[in-house]
Amino acid sequence: MKRDLNNLFNEHHLRNGELNTRRIFLKNAGLSLGAIALGSMFPGCSSEINNGSIKNLNPLVPKSPHFAAKAKSVIYIHMAGAPSQFELFEYKPILNKLHGQDCPPSLLNDKKFAFIRGVPKMLGGQSLFEKVGQSGTLISDNLPHFKNVVDEVSFLRGMHTDQFNHAPAQMMMHTGSPQQGRPSIGSWATYGLGSENQNLPGFVVLTSGGVNPDAGKPVWGSGFLPSVYQGVQCRSKGDPVLYLGNPECTSRDMRKLSIDAINDINKLTYEEFHDPETVSRISQYEMAYRMQISVPEVMSISDEPQYIHEMYGTKVGKECFANNVLLARKLVEKGVRFVQLFDWGWDTHGTSKNTALEVGLINKCRETDKPVAALILDLKQRGLLDETLIIWGGEFGRTPMAENRNGVEQMFHGRDHHPDAFTMWMAGGGIKKGFSHGETDEIGYAAVKGRQSINDLHATILNQLGFDHEHFTHDFQGRPFRLTDVGGTVIKDIIA
Amino acid sequence: MIANFIGKLHIITLHLPIGILLLGVILEWFNHLKWIETSRNLRSFAFGLGSISAIFVSLSGFLLFTYGDYNEDVVWSHKISGFITTILSLFLFSFSFYKENRFQKYIALLVAISITLTGHLGGSITHGEGFLTNFSANSSENDTTPIFEVDNIEEAQIYSDLIQPIIDAKCVGCHGPNKVKGKLRLDSEAAMMEGGKSRKEILGPNKAKSELLRRVLLPLKDEKHMPPKSKRQVTEDELSLISWWIENGASFTHTVVAKDTSTAILELIDKVIKESHNLNSDQSTIPAFLPDVEVKAISTEILNSFETNGIIALPAGKDSPFLEINFVNVNEITNIHRETLNKVAENIVRLKWSELTINDEDLVLISKMKNLLKLHIDHTNITDQGLQKLKDLNQLMYINLNNTKITNQGIEMLNKLPNLKEIFTFETQVTLDTLQNGAKIFKGGYQLEFLPSDTQRISEN
């Protein structure tokens, strides 16, 4: 018996030794080091959120910014396709004189254009300008209504970007990076400030006629932020939010019971795994339930008085930009943080009448001029303009040269993509009134004064919302990320 | 080339003799005080190694001075004290190597003093005079913001009052008494006239001829751009001012009024001065105004109480004692709301009661909010009677009365509020335009003229 016991001990030693060879030790050590490294790569899954109780987990709860902010909400009007600054805001008499002459080689050296080949001809402004407002700003006749509100806005005449194709340039404009994967401005805003109205999404996206911008939905995506911060696309016709209604034969009470049951299970899952995406899911179910009542109400413009419809030029029951602009005002009035409007069709190459400066562009102006001017005036009379930041712009500018696709002159006037200089404007939200920042050269080819990057624009937007853009970060893949990446300075010149 | 490289090694290797010699000195004294006993060999080894590195550092320092752009006057004392340190350390080494000497520990002390002095003098060359004693948090930023002392712009001396402060702030750090990069100094008229290594005219008559302007105007990524990319740049307005000075003959003696009296220039100067004051006061980026009074901090209990009752109550910025309150998620005011609001009445700077079921009596709550800046009571049932309760809100700047039963009579009651700027009365019966206290009344009702082009489209065919 004693001998047997000894054998047992010996065997245990032997087995133990076999399992702890040098080779096995090194293998285990390698795995553990890898596990440690992996742990540090997922900071988003740990720390802060783990400590909170499930009750306070609503990711859209309103939060304070870094410092007292002037702007509480933002309406971003993106004119996808890039409107031509020369037919809207930039009066260049010297360019008009050079009309029809060959472009000097100094402007073409080392430059790459999307479509211009060889030596193009200079193209003078295709519209008349008038000095308007107390600020004496020159505005094109293409924007007759905008002339009335020019003393409310600050122009950024020296904007530039580094992308000359639509999709990456739009990504750059909305996320600060030409590649996918970064959160959009609206996502950052709701991530930092939460949402005031608990019955409505904090970040709403409206596209005219349902045409998405070239870059697709990532321009209002949440990137590496939890997906609860992504933009909610609403439609101005039919169901405002898709799949919001109850399934057939399901009552609202039944719906409530099932959502509660699902959320209870989700809460258990969260307590086990602490994945922030589970929280997103819980709050989105709850939000969807509340939105069933609140969204149809706020998304209907038919209750608005007649003079408001006339002011905006809205068409009840149709899909159009004007309806979206009116909706944007209603949403902001109800406490929605960020409304993003997309309008497509500003890519005036001049290859057909529809994209010609003398036809297509003018039609686009006629569709959008009145609603935009009305938005400024309407917010002003409602006492909301001082807290609502409006931003208007495309993704880049257009060339002072005529486009000559494939080296051939075209039947219509058009301009190619131009990232070196373009005009945007901002209004309300603590921005100066009737002011111009920046200046381009005599032919509008490049900015000579107030040359601002998109990072600068983003820094300024965040500043008006109360954030120091250098300290507003989210940890991802082991390092803190910012909307402005490693650049950006606040454009103090336009801050009132 | 090699000599230049060895010269630059000075910056790195100079730390060797400091560390090694100081270690030797410490060992020497610890041994003397019998705290830690060490062998003579070890101490002598430390002094020996220290001396050798000191010799190398002295030589490389000399090369750095020869090839780098340093000012003789400033470097002189560093050079002499470095030389003395090297000699002393050699002495120390030979003493300790050949024979234990009772003066040895005093020489060691001298080495320690002289090495500290040399290090400090060297540090002052690189980091600037007073680097050690300047504790101001933003010193690096403030150093590069010009400080103007101008009372009357028209009478100001162009050079000494306007241009020199900019150049002092942005250029003289590297082109002045401490460092003379590119053999150029910009801290005096004579030095500017003399120019630098390239012998080009610094203050030529125009943009193309003036080397100073040309360098500043080069693109930021150009290697020759000044100030270097990593340093604070000359702002656009400062640049316009310097260009104006240079294009008008770069006078060192004239006043502004003697050269140019156009309003554009006066405005530009005014702007540059104001901007520098703003930067120096650290107030520039905070966009919203808050009252300049002390109020007690808000407890988290109160914030939680607001939250559980459906009210958004947020501090106006991180750690701010002021509160912004929004009733967007409730329809009416309950007694719990009233109680909580009363507790923090003085902290509230913004109150949003839009579309709330309230009556005139509820405005009593508001009358206690002494620091209120913005008040939204639009789309409510309040009347002229209620506004009486607001007559002590001395900080109030903005009041929104849209779509209420307010009339001119009620509005008149607000004309004693000293800070009131904007009153919104869209969709009310108010007809006034302004109040005696200067407050502007926005009655709204704006319309855009109907134009045929609003509906017509240019045909596509």
Whether B448 sits inside 8 A of A466 (CB atoms) is no
Chain segment B273-285, per-residue pLDDT in tens: 877 776 655 444 4
Query: What are the strands, taking DSSP E only, across A133-259?
Result: 137-140, 153-159, 203-207, 232-234
* CATH at B10: 1.20.120
pLDDT at B73 > cutoff 80: no
Asked if residue B312 and residue B246 are part of one domain, the reply reads no
Chain segment B78-118, per-residue pLDDT in tens: 999 999 999 999 989 988 888 777 788 898 999 999 999 99
Asked if residue A458 and residue A310 are part of one domain, the reply reads yes
- Which of B246, B281, B316 finishes a domain? B281
In whole angstroms, give the CA distance from residue B374 to residue B352: 8
| B350 CB burial (10 A radius; 0-12, 13-18, 19+) | buried
Among A65, A307, A450, the residue with its CB nearest the CB of B317 is A65
Whether A199 sits inside 8 A of B329 (CB atoms) is yes
Asked if residue B320 and residue B255 are part of one domain, the reply reads no
Q: Å from B229 to nearest chain A CA?
A: 13
Asked if residue B106 and residue B162 are part of one domain, the reply reads no
Bigger pLDDT: A393 vs B73: A393
In whole angstroms, give the CA distance from residue B342 to residue A195: 26
Residue from B39, B116, B49, B41 nearest B89 by CA: B49
Asked if residue A20 and residue A142 are part of one domain, the reply reads no
Give domain status of residue A286, yes or no. Answer: no
Nearest CA in chain A to B322: A68
Whether A64 sits inside 8 A of B284 (CB atoms) is no
Whether B290 sits inside 8 A of A68 (CB atoms) is yes
Asked if residue B308 and residue B272 are part of one domain, the reply reads no
pLDDT at B18 > cutoff 50: yes
Total CB pairs under 8 A between chain A and B? 128
Give domain status of residue A410, yes or no. Answer: yes
The per-residue pLDDT for B136 is 47
Q: Å from B287 to nearest chain A CA?
A: 6
The per-residue pLDDT for A36 is 64
pLDDT at B139 > cutoff 60: no
Q: Does residue B452 sit at the A interface (CB-CB below 8 Å)?
A: no
Token pair listed for B34: 């019998």
* CATH at B329: 3.80.10.10
Q: Does residue B458 sit at the A interface (CB-CB below 8 Å)?
A: yes
Asked if residue A146 and residue A18 are part of one domain, the reply reads no
For range B356-372, the mean pLDDT: 91
For range B117-125, the mean pLDDT: 88
ipTM of the complex: 0.83
In whole angstroms, give the CA distance from residue A85 to residue A397: 7
Chain segment A321-341, per-residue pLDDT in tens: 999 999 999 999 999 999 999
Give domain status of residue B184, yes or no. Answer: yes
pLDDT at B55 > cutoff 80: yes
Whether A68 sits inside 8 A of B444 (CB atoms) is no
Asked if residue A147 and residue A7 are part of one domain, the reply reads no
Asked if residue B189 and residue B311 are part of one domain, the reply reads no
Q: Does residue B330 sit at the A interface (CB-CB below 8 Å)?
A: no
pLDDT at B402 > cutoff 80: yes
Whether B320 sits inside 8 A of A68 (CB atoms) is yes
Asked if residue B156 and residue B72 are part of one domain, the reply reads no
The per-residue pLDDT for A1 is 52
pLDDT at B208 > cutoff 80: no
Q: How many domains does chain A have?
A: 2
List B324's β-bridge partners, or say none: B314, B350
Query: Contacts of residue B450 in chain A, CB cutoff 8 Å?
Result: 310
pTM (2 decimals)? 0.73
pLDDT at B164 > cutoff 60: yes
pLDDT at B77 > cutoff 60: yes
Asked if residue A347 and residue A483 are part of one domain, the reply reads yes
Give domain status of residue B132, yes or no. Answer: no
Q: Which of residues 261-280 of B touch A (CB under 8 A)?
A: 275
Whether B460 sits inside 8 A of A353 (CB atoms) is yes
Whether A366 sits inside 8 A of B457 (CB atoms) is yes
Give domain status of residue A91, yes or no. Answer: yes
Asked if residue B258 and residue B186 are part of one domain, the reply reads yes
Whether the CA torsion B116, B117, B118, B121 is positive or negative: it is: positive
Residue from A369, A494, A461 nearest A173 by CA: A461
Return the residue in B348, B446, B449, B460 with the most chain A beta carbons within 10 A, the one to mutate for interface testing.
Answer: B446
SS3 B280: helix
Give domain status of residue B461, yes or no. Answer: no
Whether B446 sits inside 8 A of A377 (CB atoms) is yes
| A358 CB burial (10 A radius; 0-12, 13-18, 19+) | middle
The per-residue pLDDT for B458 is 84
Asked if residue B276 and residue B231 are part of one domain, the reply reads yes
Query: Contacts of residue B449 in chain A, CB cutoff 8 Å?
Result: 145
Whole domain around residue A28: which residue ranges? 2-41
Give domain status of residue B68, yes or no. Answer: yes
- Which of B72, B100, B127 finishes a domain? B127
The per-residue pLDDT for A106 is 87
In whole angstroms, give the CA distance from residue B453 to residue A459: 38
Give domain status of residue B237, yes or no. Answer: yes
Asked if residue A437 and residue A395 are part of one domain, the reply reads yes
A64-68, A125-129, B29-33, B36-40: range with lowest mean pLDDT: B36-40
Asked if residue A59 and residue A37 are part of one domain, the reply reads no
SS3 A339: strand
Give domain status of residue A76, yes or no. Answer: yes
Give domain status of residue B136, yes or no. Answer: no
Q: Does residue B371 sit at the A interface (CB-CB below 8 Å)?
A: no
In whole angstroms, give the CA distance from residue A131 to residue B180: 51
Asked if residue B415 and residue B326 are part of one domain, the reply reads yes
Please identify every stretch of chain A with a pLDDT value under 50, giving residue numbers as ranges.
43-55
What string of DSSP letters covers A103-121?
A: PPGGGTTT---SSB-S-PB
Asked if residue A126 and residue A175 are part of one domain, the reply reads yes
- Which of B127, B152, B183 finishes a domain? B127
In whole angstroms, give the CA distance from residue B306 to residue B348: 13
Asked if residue B241 and residue B148 are part of one domain, the reply reads yes
Asked if residue A187 and residue A154 are part of one domain, the reply reads yes
C-beta neighbour count of B336 within 10 angstroms: 13
Asked if residue A236 and residue A323 are part of one domain, the reply reads yes
In whole angstroms, give the CA distance from residue A82 to residue A163: 12
Query: Contacts of residue B451 in chain A, CB cutoff 8 Å?
Result: 144-145
Whether B317 sits inside 8 A of A63 (CB atoms) is no
Give domain status of residue A458, yes or no. Answer: yes
Asked if residue B380 and residue B311 are part of one domain, the reply reads yes
Q: Does residue B350 sit at the A interface (CB-CB below 8 Å)?
A: no
Give domain status of residue B258, yes or no. Answer: yes
For range B237-266, the mean pLDDT: 82
Q: Which helix (H) or strand (E) holds B278?
A: helix B263-281
Give domain status of residue B151, yes or no. Answer: yes
pLDDT at B3 > cutoff 70: yes
Q: Does residue B317 sit at the A interface (CB-CB below 8 Å)?
A: yes
Band (B137; pLDDT cuts 50, 70, 90) = very low
Q: How many domains does chain B have?
A: 3
Q: Å from A147 to nearest chain B CA?
A: 11
Asked if residue A221 and residue A92 are part of one domain, the reply reads yes
Whether the CA torsion A243, A247, A248, A251 is positive or negative: it is: negative
Return the residue in A127, A297, A370, A448 with the most chain B beta carbons within 10 A, the one to mutate for interface testing.
Answer: A370
The per-residue pLDDT for A39 is 56
The per-residue pLDDT for A74 is 97
Give domain status of residue A330, yes or no. Answer: yes
The per-residue pLDDT for B179 is 76
Give domain status of residue A280, yes or no. Answer: no
Give domain status of residue A268, yes or no. Answer: no
Asked if residue A111 and residue A21 are part of one domain, the reply reads no
Asked if residue B205 and residue B76 are part of one domain, the reply reads no
* CATH at A427: 3.40.720.10
Whole domain around residue B374: which residue ranges? 300-442
